[in-house]
Structure 1
Amino acid sequence: MNELQLLKETRKIDSPVPAASLDRGLAQLMSTIEKDTRRPSKTKRWSRPRRSLIAVAAAAALVVGPMAVGIILPDSPQGATAEAAEILDEAALATIETADPIVGAGQYLMIDTNAVYGSSIVHDGTQHTWLATQDSQLYIPTDRSEEWVWVREPEVPVTFFSDESREAAEEISKSTEPFGQTVRAPGGGFYGSPQQFLGKPLDDAIQDSPRDPQELLDLIYATTEGEGWSPEQQALTTIADFLRTGAVPANLRSALYGAAALIDGVEVVDESATIDGRSGTAIGIETPDHAWRQDIIIDVETGLMIGERVTSLKTTPQYPAGTVISWTTSETSVVDFAP
């Protein structure tokens, strides 16, 4: 496990950790594919931890561009496998027909996220690891400059890999107060800073991101250069991060699926993947050493992403082979009030 993965999926728990430290037609695609697949120079950005579950503003209030009409891929070995590209094409078309939520005056866009991540502690030179829930609900007002509310539920250990890890988790539970809180901030600037994506605050990123899949993928490569296990894996992870916010408008969701179809190594890994009781098609990519795999699980009929997960493909000191070491799901709705 490299340093990035350790940062993303596990953390040392000697005491409760504050939140501040946590956290893929289209009609013109053929002409775009004729361009050189290049990766622009690196753009400096602040990169949030993947643990952050802050969502973006109401999709209905965003300024969006022309609708995409499908993914057209050439007969080429580049990009996702034919099966994965077909699934992503279906999802891109379906998402255009899925209505984005409309948030009326005085209402809130509510993103209800269920998540499980790795937690660990080093005791007497031995690392003990388990999986714990990190559920939350985010309330975004119609006027995004007004106060957002983020309800962060206490972590609950749910999966253990040894008796020792169970004992370590239980000991922490006894010695510390459960960490859960409700956070409020104008414009979603929780803990002093709004969430960033592709080098911009998320509202701006949603409005400004290209709706052309190749241009969008080029931008993702540029702003994530040097991150992750490989550019391809990090690109799909970035797409998963964006989709799981639950508030990406239809034409940008379609473009994100199109971008995923252009990533080398992306393939269908499970046609009936179940996560948090919901089933869809899992599209994933393995790390270059085949030790880990990043998946996105898509409801092809609606074009919505059900969730995302990271799976350990090899046995490590922390996890047995085949362990889903982290996953998230989210559902979006419109509500009349916030806590």
Structure 2
Amino acid sequence: MDDLKLLREMRSDVGSAPPATLARGREKVMAKVQASPKPATQPKPTVTPIRFRRRVLFASAAAALLVGGIVVADVVRPGGPGATAEAAEVLNNAAAATIRTSDPVVGPGQYLKIDMKSLVGSGGQASDGSEVNWQETTNSQMYVPADRAGEWVWNRLPRMILDSASEEAKALAAELRKAQETRPEGQPALVGILRAPGGAFYGNEPTVIIGTPLKEAASLPRDPRALLDLIYERTKGAGKSADSEAFVTIADGLRTGVVPADLRAALYQAAALIPGVTVTDRHAMIDGRTGIAIGIASSDGVTGSNIVIDPASGVVIGEQSVLLKDYPGYPAGTVTTWTSLRTSVVDSAP
């Protein structure tokens, strides 16, 4: 649930909050939200070309557009045999571990705290018209009450540019951050604490997959094939690849941090049925934690979308986007964005 995943969720891209971001990503939504009128002489925010298609899972301004208008049509089934044998083994083992690992017990008055940290790309235009790009981190915490119909609390912290960025980038990022923290009247704040009954931030309740709100998670099939067919049906026509759309939708659901264990297991097993899903890294590190990365390449083969799983517990550590081909300024293998997820039970919320 990054500012989004939660938006995203995000959904993270999300959220992540899957949206299709759910639909095309937290970054597109955030780019629109962040755009505010400025004098022509001031730098203008731009969207950098490298983005992980993370979708908004919670509180997305685009969510309302996506949960409506779902058309039931012929299911687009994968044409191949499913994930590689190695990936299927990892995913099925994660499903089994998920069932063995109990969900956190949140007692009356307590909260499930979902800590999200992301590395994202940002950019802007300098006063001389040149493009300046940099990477920065985002942090947010979602507090989900034991009674999920109660008040959820979302604490969003300011973005922080990496120390490795150029001085020019740091100066431009500071201007954008100031604009982010002082929104014009009538525009939603991007930093600070939000509260919403049932997690319906910005009027949109949290979802598990497109068309199914969190409160109706029990209605989703636990049979992996039936669940995957439903996902293909609801993402029909979105994106350039039915298989990558299905995988990203599953990743978005897994990283919410609030999906019950039996459904998480079914999502893992459904992912094991998607052609093109492979083990991309057995020692992937996100924010200091190591797990196995399972992913799928984009239809153009330029980027790969991965979820990183702790094989012992079946818990999703996070997700990442990796360049599969060289890109100007970025060699193949570069992790362009990542999001880490940590959950805990706490006695209070801000």
Smaller-chain TM-score range?
0.7 to 0.9
1:99 aligns with 2:102: yes
Q: Give the AA of the match of 2:312.
A: E
Is 1:145 aligned to 2:157, yes or no?
A: no
Corresponding residue pairs, total: 285
Q: Secondary structure at the match of 1:329?
A: strand
**Structure 2 counterpart of 1:202:** 214
Q: Give 1:35's aligned residue.
A: none
Q: Separation in 2 of the partners of 1:15 and 1:320?
A: 33
Is the contact between residue 121 and residue 134 of structure 2 (CA under 8 Å) also seen in structure 1? yes
Equivalent residue letter for 1:223: R
Seen in structure 2, the aligned counterparts of structure 1 residues 224 and 285 have a Cα distance that, compared at 3 Å, is same
Partner of 1:322: 333
CA displacement 1:21-80 (0-9 Å, x = unmatched):
xxxxxxxxxxxxxxxxxxxxxxxxxxx97255669xxxxxxxxxxxxxxxxxxxx96100
Preserved CA contact (<8 Å) 1:161 1:319 = no
Kindly report which structure 2 residues correspond to 1:153-302, keeping only aligned pairs within 5 A, or say none.
153-158=157-162, 164-173=168-177, 177=181, 179-196=190-207, 197-204=209-216, 206-302=217-313
Measured in 1, the distance between the counterparts of 2:329 and 2:26 equals 10
Match of 2:55 in 1: 50
CA change 1:77–1:52 in 2 (3 A) is closer
| Bigger mean CA offset, 141-150 vs 161-170 | 161-170
Q: Does 1:90 find its partner at 2:93?
A: yes
- Aligned equivalent of 2:122, options 119, 123, 127: 119
Q: Is the 8 A contact 1:121 1:127 kept in 2?
A: yes
C-alpha deviation, 1:320, in angstroms: 4.6
1:265-286 deviation line (CA, Å, top 9, x unaligned): 0001111111000001001110
Q: Determine the C-alpha separation between the residues in 1 that align with 2:298 and 2:131.
A: 24
Amino acid in the other structure paired with 1:50: R
Contact 1:118–1:325 (Cα < 8 Å) also in 2: yes
Q: Deviations over 1:232-251 (max 9, x none)?
A: 11111111111111122111
User: Where does the alignment leave 5 or more consecutive residues of structure 1 unmatched?
Assistant: 17-47, 56-75
Instruction: Determine whether 1:131 maps to 2:144.
Output: no
Structure 1 residues 223, 256: closer, same or farther in 2, change over 3 A?
Answer: same
Worse overlay, 215-224 or 126-135:
126-135
Partner secondary structure for residue 336 of structure 2: strand
Q: How does 1:19-58 map to 2 (within 5 A)?
A: 50-51=55-56
Map 1:49-88 → 2, pairs under 5 A: 50-51=55-56, 78-88=81-91
Specify which of 319, 323, 345 is matched with residue 308 of structure 1: 319
Q: What displacement does 1:199 show?
A: 0.7
SS state of the match for residue 88, structure 1?
helix
Tell me the TM-score normalized by structure 1: 0.75
What are the ranges of 5 or more consecutive residues in structure 2 without an aligned counterpart? Answer: 1-22, 38-52, 61-78, 183-189
Q: 1:287 to 1:161 in 2, by over 3 A?
A: farther
Distance in structure 1 (CA, Å) of the matches to 2:120 and 2:29: 6
Q: Between the two structures, name the one with larger relative contact order (CA 8 Å, sep ≥ 6).
A: 1
Fraction of identical pairs, as percent: 50
- CA contact 2:58–2:199 (8 Å) conserved in 1: no
Question: Please, what TM-score do these two structures have when normalized by structure 2?
Answer: 0.73
State the 1:108 CA deviation: 1.2
Q: Is the partner of 1:106 in helix, strand or coil?
A: coil
Deviation readout 1:212-253 (Å, 9 max, x if unpaired)? 111111111111122233111111111111111112211111
Aligned mates of 1:127, 1:315 — CA distance in 2: 20
Q: For the residues of structure 2 that align with 1:130 and 1:9, how far apart are their CA atoms?
A: 19
